[in-house]
Amino acid sequence: MPPLTPKMPLRRLLFSAARHCSSSAPSGGVAAESRTQKLERIADELLSLTKEERNDYSILFRLKLGLNQLVQAGGGLPSAGTGPGVEAVTEEKEKTAFDIKLEKFDAAAKIKIIKEVRTFTDLGLKEAKELVEKAPVVLKKGLTKEEAEAIAAKLKGVGATVALE
């Protein structure tokens, strides 16, 4: 089996391990069988873990492989334990992606709002009109706070009631 390196993708590592375990060379048949048994034992142990334990294990495994960016995106390892305290800490993190929701608008400002919606979306006139008429509706998702606030200010300026979610 190839050495475990952080740069080797996990899928390739697993396929490589499976190939080595399934090949039955005359001289290495016993070693291949013990590898298979070891992998089956590890798989059984992983399947017996609780959901929280599996989550902690996956984070630890990514750290060991050197995939730190995935752990940071997932929130990192829980400190002392798991449960309500850890969930409260993750909920308190500052929101980084915002959605712009058009709640309502003045009927007299409908055309201005449609034009403004077209400026920050790739919609045509008909699609933008249909979208605005569906209010309350999310106009754009996954924006940074600065982008979302700028667009919301423009929409409010033309007579729309907007919420950032």
Same domain, 56 and 25: yes
Compute how many other C-beta atoms are within 10 angstroms of the C-beta atom of residue 63.
14
Are 84 and 32 in the same domain? yes
pLDDT of amino acid 136? 86
Domain boundary among 44, 60, 91: 91
Q: What's the pLDDT at 79?
A: 46
Whether residue 19 lies inside any domain: the answer is yes
Query: Helix crossing, 125-133 with 110-120: angle to 10°?
Result: 120
Contact at 8 Å (CB) between 76 and 62? no
Number of domains in the chain: 2
> Is residue 84 domain-shared with residue 64, that is, in the same domain?
yes
pLDDT average per 10 residues of sequence, the chain (165 residues): 48 51 50 80 87 84 73 49 49 72 87 89 88 86 87 89 86
Q: What is the DSSP letter of 113?
A: H
Domain final position from 60, 91, 122:
91
Report the predicted TM-score, pTM, of the whole model to 2 decimal places. 0.43
Owning domain of residue 124: 98-164
Q: Output the pLDDT for position 104.
A: 87
Let me know whether 19 and 84 are in one domain: yes
List pLDDT tens digits, range 40-80: 888 888 888 888 888 888 888 888 887 766 445 555 544 44
In this prediction, residue 8 carries a pLDDT of 47
Q: What pLDDT is attached to residue 141?
A: 86
Q: Are residues 14 and 79 in the same domain?
A: yes
CATH of the domain at 131: 3.30.1390.10
Task: Give domain status of residue 23, yes or no.
Answer: yes
CB 157 within 8 A of CB 130: no
* Spatial contact of 111 and 154, defined as CB atoms under 8 Å apart: no
- Domain termination residue (choose one: 45, 71, 91): 91
